[in-house]
Amino acid sequence: MNSTQDTAVQTLDTEDVAHTEARHAASAVPTGLSPRLYNRDLAPTRREGRSWTAYSIFTLWANDVHSLGNYAFAIGLFALGLGGWQVLAALGVGAALLFALLTLSGFMGQKTGVPFPVMSRIAFGIHGAQIAALIRGGVAVAWFGIQTYLASVVLRVLLIAVFPDLKPFDEGSILGLSALGWMAFVALWIVQVVIVSYGMEMIRKYEAFAGPVILATMAALAIWMFSQAGFSIAWNTGHELSGGDMWLKVLGGGALWVSIYGTFVLNFCDFTRSARSKKSIVKGNFWGIPINMLLFGTITVVLVGAQFKINGHIIGSPSDIVASIPNTFLLSAASTALLVLTVAVNLMANFVAPTYALTNLFPRRLNFRRAALVSAVIGLVILPWNLYNNPAVIEYFLGGLGALLGPLFGVIMADYWLVRRGRVNVPALYSEARDGTYHYARGINPKAIAALIPAAAVALVIGFVPVLAPLSSFTWFFGAGIAAVNFYFLADRKCTFEDVEGEAIAVPSVH
């Protein structure tokens, strides 16, 4: 080997050693912190280099607000007897509340730079936080599988429309799905796993791409239906409510709109921990929630009103309209857009939360990529189409877990904003020292549990006892409010709280 080759080999060896040392340094746990609580995915993000702008946050809502499930909910308000302007009023009430709640929740992530499971340690303790993270993650992982299944149904319809010869493969059943159903589900499952395996930055890029596609598609669908109805629509279905009943439905609709986002108001910090500033959160939320929801409501009113004028029927979902498009090319384009939408919603609402929850549970064994794969496998092996087709599972199991989200939010927000006034010792969130700020009693804050349990019990009773059905729309608010009040009076409000940033133990936002 000549001297030039020797030099080249030495250079490569030096680079390999440097890269290895960098990886070891990156994975090392800072002195004084616990490997049971800290890894690079749970660590706070550095302020410098954060990449989530107002547009990034806006596109989260551009995708999530226009989900098929939300359209089905808004369309259902017409079936309850609300007219067009009343539906818009209900969505407006919900949007105003959500803007406030999500902005407060987002500020927490932007200041501390930590994901939701770590944020929960502030109120519940370094180990008690597992309760909050697993409840949030448990709801999400089930819905991840269900939403992937619903998207696979759209894909099956699209494939058969474009390739009619595939029709025979959509017959029969293997564990509840046809051969084509399995192929569609697994294909979408793989796409989502690949996207998430590249981390939060790839999710940001996907949401930024999908947002404009969805807005353009839904607006085009509304314009097309408006033209089909002769450029006028029916503003109600002929059974419009009035007086007290109407306002109860309007307020109830707004409350349910907040409940739908009960998951997101909890773990919004998973996204805003990479936000550049509070201003970007406010601006992104403003355009993404009240303004975008006004557009969403307008599209809903046009779709429902146009269809009702055409044939006197109320559609169940925009996918019903897409399926009726006579042109195969346009039907394919619209169906593809719905698939892009469903994947975008699933990634942000149902994939990130369980991934962080599992990372928090096994920080020494799981990083973000591995935890995402485990979450996805769980979402597959539970055969989610069987869950979706079982009303008891949806209502009692997922509904029961969902009823706990309000009380969790109440405890966390009361502790952060009312008791601590936003003062957090970030490094202490990763310490198992017995005298640590968030050690409490063996890592669990008994006062948070004491505040949570009665609020959760009330939420479950209101949600499931038939005689209390008129109050069921407000379950999330009862749970959150009772838990917040309980915690406020149980907590030691005279304590002096340290405010210590986490820059010394932070990692790059993109890693």
Three state DSSP letters for 250-299: HHHHHHHHHHHCCCHHHHCHHHHCCECCHHHHHHHHHHHHHHHHHHHHHH
pLDDT for the residue numbered 24: 42
Percentage of the chain exceeding pLDDT 90: 53
Cα separation, 69 vs 316, whole angstroms: 10
Q: Three-class SS of residue 500?
A: strand
pLDDT for the residue numbered 20: 40
pLDDT for the residue numbered 93: 94
**Tens-place pLDDT, residues 57-90:** 999 999 999 888 788 888 888 877 788 889 999 9
181 pLDDT tier (thresholds 50, 70, 90): very high
**Tens-place pLDDT, residues 444-492:** 999 999 999 999 999 999 888 889 888 888 899 999 999 999 999 999 8
Dihedral sign for Cα atoms in the order 189, 193, 194, 200: positive
**Tens-place pLDDT, residues 417-430:** 999 999 999 999 99
Neighbours of 14 (CB within 10 A): 10
Looking at every residue in the chain, the average pLDDT score rounds to: 87
φ, ψ for residue 441 (rounded to 5)?
A: -110, 100
The pLDDT of 332-351, averaged and rounded, is 88
Q: Three-class SS of residue 52?
A: strand
**Tens-place pLDDT, residues 243-275:** 777 888 889 889 888 988 888 899 999 999 999
What pTM, to 2 d.p., does this model score? 0.87
Site of tokens 């133990």: 505
pLDDT for the residue numbered 494: 79
- Amino acid present at 171: E
pLDDT for the residue numbered 244: 75
**Tens-place pLDDT, residues 4-51:** 444 443 443 444 444 443 344 445 889 889 999 999 999 999 999 999
Burial pattern 217-240, b for ≥16 Cβ within 10 A else e, equals: bbeebbebbbeebeeebbbbbeee
pLDDT for the residue numbered 396: 66
Q: Check whether 348 has a pLDDT greater than 50.
A: yes
Cα separation, 280 vs 334, whole angstroms: 31
Q: Three-class SS of residue 366?
A: coil
pLDDT for the residue numbered 397: 66
398 pLDDT tier (thresholds 50, 70, 90): low
